[in-house]
Amino acid sequence: MEIINRRQRMFSISRKLRRESKTVGFVPTMGALHEGHLTLVKEARQMCDVVIVSIFVNPTQFNSSVDLEKYPRDLTTDVSLLAEYEVDYIFAPEEHEIYPDGFSTYVNVQGVTDVLEGESRPGHFRGVATVVTILLNTVRPDHAFFGQKDAQQVAVIKRLTTDLGFETEIVVVPTVREESGLAMSSRNERLSAEEREKAAIIINALRAAKTEFKRGERNASHLTQIVRDTIATEPLARLDYVHIVDRESMQTIDKVGDNEALIVIAAYFGDVRLIDNVILNRKQ
């Protein structure tokens, strides 16, 4: 396993891999790796000849400098975990390698970023879209792996790779959950033991609504009411939003039709904001 810090070195490795006709799987991360990331790595390992993981805490996707500073960083632990998963290259650039002096080019994906997380975290998806564009252009992978937990991020990245003509196939991996059902996230570490246990109400609420969907309920307000009612039974939970959205456009819908849709939720436990979703009408 080689750790690469420079963009030029990453370019030349990826050129060499293409010359050798190796399929390249890429897992972009911000480090602080947990089981969710490692599942993406496992998937990449199964599908591709060569696996590249990036570790870069991307400053442009943070809304506050305090959050950016507080973001957990532990490169040594991350590197030893990735070695166990037989990763071939870790791309861990310094900030100036990604954002050189005078940097002034940003990627704005319209529409899909205007709602939900885009509303709560202005500028967040501009930062994600920009860094993912730079990373894909540097690594040039055949496949890039993202988790379904961040459904809106997936929708943004699919839109941008289609619009900008990237050849990379975006592979979406199902959400990895703790034993209780809580979606894995680095934010879970900030929950108290009690909050972490009680936060399973989020997936229980989504599953209750999905059960009604399977019984034939198509009305979005009825389905979201089930989620609201279930969340209301947990005093530690504070609902931020719950919506039924089109999986591709992330726009709210009133009635679930034939297209893939999601029930998306954001809820607070203390000051920790958690997101999750379930898919309705899954096509594959």
Residues near ligand PAF (CB under 6 A) are 28-30, 58, 61, 128, 131-132, 150, 153
- How many Cβ atoms from other residues are within 10 Å of residue 70's Cβ? 11
Nearer to ligand PAF, 147 or 278 (CB): 147
Question: Smallest gap, in angstroms, from Cβ of residue 56 to ligand PAF?
Answer: 7
Nearer to ligand PAF, 158 or 218 (CB): 158
- Marked catalytic residue, from 34, 37, 96, 124: 37
Nearer to ligand PAF, 115 or 131 (CB): 131
88 to each of 50, 111, 114, 249, how far by Cα in Å? 6, 37, 37, 35
Nearer to ligand PAF, 26 or 269 (CB): 26
Task: Assess whether 96 carries a catalytic annotation.
Answer: no
Question: Smallest gap, in angstroms, from Cβ of residue 21 to ligand PAF?
Answer: 27
The catalytic site residues sit at: 37
